[in-house]
Structure 1
């Protein structure tokens, strides 16, 4: 009886293991396609659109899911290794430069997107520097691609000399193994090198993800230099000890305007505030959401946030000044005010 049970278990294991091996990549493929439709199907065009939004709105966007890059790179490299799929490239060689261009330009656009986000969130670079670095990334990638296809052209044309050599070999009874895809191994290697680069690029991006915020510490201090714009502390309408406070913001450049980002760090419930600079309204009523909104304010000045409408649970919000990296988490009552005194560096 025991032998029978063990044989049944072994048979079940032999059936399940191959099934899991086959189903796992299929399910992962379906998950990636379903979750990241825009990123996968529109590729660099979608990232360029997101980058333009960052520049226009002056607000950082969510980081690109870097796993999508690895996923696309593995799919592309695998298609060049599997004989049945590779035959498509032999029949339509133009597919290779097109797909490689899409993949490499996606890499360039993501690097540019990261640079622009670094400017919008923490002002790591000046705006002009961020734009210049982004454009330079695209130009360098395009120059590299031009050099690569000049050095290793994809063509099915056979020169007169090659045709004479083939005929001579055939006359002498030899056989010619002719591939319709010149430099095929080099183009596979290009994708492989790009895939390795993407792996290390992903590791770099992941290493620079802001650390998890200590909410207990934030509730006491209500200040952070680690919080990314749009950071959410709570997913319920909670106050959690946050008190209404006025703050001084040091380290700003005198006579130069600075950006201020404001958003709701709590459950999004469409609370409204008014923003004043030196007592004069610059926005009569702004609806707070989890997506930051940017305002340009002078230095020195006093910024006043006045509560207009509370939908319940407290009118909570966060303000970030990217130039200083300071983020302030606050709460204000309806008709109450919080002030932020912008202080230039002596």
Structure 2
């Protein structure tokens, strides 16, 4: 028996901002699983900023999506047939099955089984998954916030930034979150419990940031770049740490950004203030993953970490969802509900 699937493939490479024309919906048929394979019904699809980079052909930390190939992405799925001894029909799993309703995968590639009794399965794509682990690992290995220090995080209402700030608060740091718009800032200061929330769209944002960090910044967790980083840079203290996991403000750019060359200034500050600036992706630190699962599971059960999900419905909405994500229109972890 074969299984039909609907999938979205990369139709063309974007020149700047992606458009709906860069995507194409297709129908396909999957065979029954062979030895070691598992047939999945994807229930949730994660939309993440890194997907924009995979649409380009240039060199990056992962291979680009080929023209005509299924768009890359993490999923939460149900097993509907299995020829792998570790998985049975009905199991919930975390997979990397892409933008499609069903997928046939090697069982060895599945990331972990999910227990709905421990946490909602959707959290495996957000706070209890890759974005949460990005926050956890970046703080543990690079940011290393100490009690009494000041941490600033950009995109503070998103799944990485929200988790960064809350973990830093648990470690005793003072936390300033930067977000876009009044509603997001209210969420950051209210539900997430940050000490200060600042709107980067405010015309006097740089002045407000300076006032919010009278003792300077010890850790800046970078998700955005652009004008936010320019406002943060002069406020970094000696020996400040800057984990860099994203630069979403620049993902649609082509060529060098306009304006003067700021590299000499940046390098001078790195030297004179003894800054640690390190780019990373979460898979750099696989040894930390078991500790993350244990700590985050405990924090979620205790209500010590809050999270917000922004759910859209239907695979056909994924392209518009990604385009909106890159423009900052999502509010919380962006998911597509497929079933």
TM-score by length of 2: 0.24
**Hey, which of these two has a bigger chunk of helix by percent?**
1
Higher radius of gyration, 1 or 2: 1
**Hey, which of these two has a bigger chunk of strand by percent?**
2
TM-score by length of 1: 0.23
